[in-house]
Amino acid sequence: MAKRPPTIPDSELDVLKVLWERGQATVREALETLKAAGREWSYATVATLLDRLETKGLVESDRKELAFVYRPTISSQEVRQRRVSSLVDKLYEGEPGLLVLHLLKSHPLDPGQASQVREVLDQMTAGKPAKKKG
Amino acid sequence: MAKRPPTIPDSELDVLKVLWERGQATVREALETLKAAGREWSYATVATLLDRLETKGLVESDRKELAFVYRPTISSQEVRQRRVSSLVDKLYEGEPGLLVLHLLKSHPLDPGQASQVREVLDQMTAGKPAKKKG
DNA sequence: CCAATCCTAAGACAACTGTCTCAGAAGGTC
DNA sequence: GACCTTCTGAGACAGTTGTCTTAGGATTGG
């Protein structure tokens, strides 16, 4: 069976985020959490969204007492990875470096983050015999 | 007049990219360019896409000889900006720094890009007394 | 002028998204 | 046992996206 990266629309992503935060949740719990976050949906809407996520294999559920408890089967890292790759492919010629540059130019980091970035850069080029050539 | 950032679906983005590359294009020219890039659409499909983009105000057209010539009214920078902001808001808690870190960790830059990034970082912290213990 | 082209206009149509209504099963209450 | 309450299941329904067909106007080449 081929790998089919199912698309995750915004509304589904919102409920998925709730599952990541809480680890798992019933429809009602997700509903409440979302409401607290400003997303006021009807019970049925949240249920539909969870259902669609399950159909796509991104969450799984099992009955606990009377209600189903949903749990993500995909990590936020995985989703981030996909979104970023897709963005880079579509708008940055497949060059993550361009995105990094763009980000730094348009959204200045605070000093703390800046030094974190430097650290990562140093580690990255440290062991590297930066010898590129065919 | 309210700000209405129209959404730009993938297929529309593909033709918009052609307009950015060429500056402007007729349906047929876009069709050919897309075909060369592996996107084999029918003439009508490309025309529909351009039409939708125009309805959204993202491209404008005027008749040249017998066919319409389309020209983007939105820059790739603008679109990148929007996409990135949306990604950061949705998956990086509104913190561009997190995305930068993620990118660097998961997609190592080559030395050339790494030094470019350092430069930008230096400029960024130049005017600021970024005193983080040395 | 007539046919071959190429173009626009109009719209079809299925899949996907965003949201919700409603009927009815399951369990709790007195 | 009759009534609530809360769930699930089934699906409705409009708007967006992805792609295409078809009809008919304008242009060109004899």
User: Which pLDDT tens digit goes with each residue over A30-71?
Assistant: 999 999 999 999 999 999 999 999 999 999 999 988 899 999
Q: How many domains does chain A have?
A: 2
Domain-terminating residue out of A37, A57, A72: A72
- Residue B64, nucleotide of least CA–C1' distance: C7
The string of pLDDT tens digits covering residues A75-85 is 999 999 999 99
- Residue A46, nucleotide of least CA–C1' distance: C19
Task: Take residue A53 and report the two structure tokens written for it.
Answer: 């996520």
Give domain status of residue A92, yes or no.
yes
Q: Cα separation of A101 and A82, whole Å?
A: 20
Same domain as B112, residue B90? yes
Give domain status of residue B19, yes or no.
yes
> Which range is least confidently modeled, A32-41, A46-55, A103-112, B56-65?
A103-112
Q: Cα separation of B59 and B37, whole Å?
A: 21
Q: Which residue of chain A comes nearest to B93, CA vs CA?
A: A17
Give domain status of residue B4, yes or no.
no
Start-to-end CA span in chain B (Å): 50
Which residues neighbour A28 within 8 Å (Cβ) at sequence distance 6 or greater?
Answer: A43, A67
Same domain as A60, residue A87? no
What pLDDT shows up at residue B109? 86
Give the domain extent around B119. 76-124
Same domain as A80, residue A57? no
Same domain as B53, residue B21? yes
Same domain as A64, residue A29? yes
Residue A80: CB less than 7 A from any atom in strand D? no
Query: Cβ A125–B116 below 8 Å, yes or no?
Result: no
Cβ-defined contacts of A39-47 (< 8 Å, 24+): A39/A14, A45/A11, A46/A15
CATH value at residue A41: 1.10.10.10
Task: Take residue A11 and report the two structure tokens written for it.
Answer: 């509304």
Give domain status of residue A134, yes or no.
no
Same domain as B110, residue B91? yes
Using a 7 Å CB cut-off, which residues contact strand C?
A: A 7-12, 41-45, 47-49, 52, 66; B 26-28, 43-44, 47-48, 51, 66-68
Same domain as A62, residue A18? yes
Instruction: From chain B, pick out residues whose CB is under 8 angstroms from the CB of A92.
Output: 80
Same domain as B117, residue B83? yes
Give domain status of residue A39, yes or no.
yes
Same domain as B66, residue B112? no
Is the confidence at residue B2, as pLDDT, over 50? no
